[in-house]
């Protein structure tokens, strides 16, 4: 950047202006992007540590922006929450993910599917009808669909969240708490919500965060507590053989992470994981 009066401040504000512009561009461009076919889903396998089989997949959205190329979800989901586009994008994700897993099941592969719900989606009663309609249309049994909810979605209007979650449970879908361990809530606090599954954030496996407590004992006690609350436990972000080894010595139920596979486009997922056994 050219040195001018104002120095660092000038540079900083130029950067901020660029960021504001980028946010504005993305927020404009995401309108109608679902209908234009710019989104695709990638699927990341979840492996049961009991059967050592791929039992499920998490659907993760990708935006192929016509000019900017791939825009990662962390860069646009928050913006979609702000401008309300999340309703349209979320409905597209749900429809596409359910359609895909129904197709795999019709081909004999009895997988389940996890779909991420953003806070704004959970805090809107309309989600219940959307989920019911999508399941009916694709003929997917509700227990094959899991909705992943983050702690922040539970913190907004707790009574609304609980009531929407009860209605979703009434439909028969599974509910999980995502990124557990990154937020503020304790396991006992989570008891208020009708959850089936807890996804342990990958920071649990982070060696940098190691304390005096033996990490195996710490993980095991969280998993035991979760089990006492009737929650199954999935460890996410499992990157290497050491982590996997470690988790196999706990009572953790499922693992997900690069050690198994990165999220893959549907065709690649199908090629790799139809009838596939790991470990």
Tokens of 207: 């060696």
Write the DSSP symbol of residue 239. Answer: -
For position 119 contacting ligand C2E by CB under 6 A, the verdict is no
To ligand C2E, the closest distance from the beta carbon of 202 in angstroms equals 6
Residue 62, classified by CB atoms within 10 Å of its CB into exposed (0-12), middle (13-18) or buried (19+), is middle
Residue 275 falls in which region: left (phi positive, over 0), alpha (psi -120 to 50) or beta: left
Please return the burial class of 100, using the count of CB atoms within 10 Å of its CB with bins 0-12, 13-18 and 19+: buried
- Total residues contacting Ca ion by CB under 5 A comes to 9
Q: Is 179 a residue that touches ligand C2E (CB under 6 A)?
A: yes
For 184, counting Cβ atoms within 10 Å of its Cβ (0-12 exposed, 13-18 middle, 19+ buried), the class is exposed
Asked if 179 touches Ca ion (CB under 5 A), the answer is yes
Instruction: Note whether 80 and 31 are within 8 A (CB).
Output: no
| Range in contact with ligand C2E (rule: CB under 6 A) among 21-29, 68-76, 139-147, 188-196 | 68-76
**Which of 204, 238, 244, 264: binder of Ca ion (CB under 5 A)?**
204
Stretch of 6-14, 17-25, 255-263, 265-273 contacting ligand C2E, by CB under 6 A? 255-263
Among 30, 44, 100, 111, binds ligand C2E (CB under 6 A): 44
Tell the smallest beta-carbon distance from residue 113 to ligand C2E (Å): 11
Other CB atoms within 10 Å distance of the CB of residue 10: 14
CA distances to 183, 202, 236, 237, 263 from 208, in Å: 18, 12, 17, 15, 25
CA distance 57 to 139: 18
Chosen from ligand C2E, Ca ion, none, partner binding at 93 (C-beta under 5 to 8 Å by type):
ligand C2E
Tell me if 257 contacts ligand C2E by CB under 6 A: yes
Contact flag: residue 118 with ligand C2E (CB under 6 A) = yes
Among the listed ranges 16-24, 67-75, 163-171, 184-192, the one in contact with ligand C2E (CB under 6 A) is 67-75
Q: What are phi and psi of 215, to 5 degrees?
A: -60, -30
Contact stretch for ligand C2E (CB under 6 A) within 26-34, 70-78, 185-193, 247-255: 70-78
Interface with Ca ion, residue 145, by CB under 5 A:
no
Nearest approach in angstroms of CB 225 to ligand C2E is 21
Binding residues (CB under 6 A) for ligand C2E: these are: 44, 60-61, 72-74, 77, 93, 116, 118, 178-179, 202, 237-239, 257-258, 263
- Which residues of this chain interact with Ca ion, rule CB under 5 A? 116, 148, 178-179, 200, 204, 219, 235-236
């Amino acid at each position: 950047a050219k040195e001018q009066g104002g120095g660092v401040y000038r540079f900083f504000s130029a950067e901020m202006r660029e960021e504001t512009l980028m946010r504005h561009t993305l927020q404009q461009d995401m309108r109608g992007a679902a209908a234009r076919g710019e989104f695709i889903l990638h699927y990341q396998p979840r492996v049961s540590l009991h059967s050592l089989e791929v039992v499920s997949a998490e659907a993760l959205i990708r935006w192929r922006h016509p000019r900017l190329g791939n825009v990662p979800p962390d860069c646009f989901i928050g913006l979609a929450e702000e401008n309300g586009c999340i309703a349209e994008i979320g409905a597209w994700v749900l429809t596409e993910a359910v359609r895909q897993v129904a197709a795999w099941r019709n081909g004999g592969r009895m997988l389940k599917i996890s779909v991420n719900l953003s806070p704004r989606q959970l805090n809107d009663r309309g989600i219940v009808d959307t989920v019911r309609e999508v399941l009916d249309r694709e003929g997917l049994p509700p227990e094959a669909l899991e909705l992943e909810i983050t702690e922040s979605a539970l913190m907004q209007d707790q009574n609304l969240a609980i009531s929407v979650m009860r209605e979703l449970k009434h439909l028969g879908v599974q509910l999980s708490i995502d990124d557990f361990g990154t937020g503020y809530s304790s396991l006992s606090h989570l008891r208020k919500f009708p959850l089936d599954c807890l996804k342990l954030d990958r920071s649990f496996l982070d060696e940098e965060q190691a304390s005096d407590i033996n990490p195996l004992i710490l993980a095991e006690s969280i998993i035991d507590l979760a089990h006492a609350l009737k929650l199954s436990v999935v460890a996410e972000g499992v990157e290497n053989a050491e982590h996997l080894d470690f988790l196999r010595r706990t009572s953790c139920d499922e693992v997900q992470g690069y050690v198994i596979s990165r999220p893959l486009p549907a065709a690649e997922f199908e090629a790799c994981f139809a009838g596939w056994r790991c470990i």
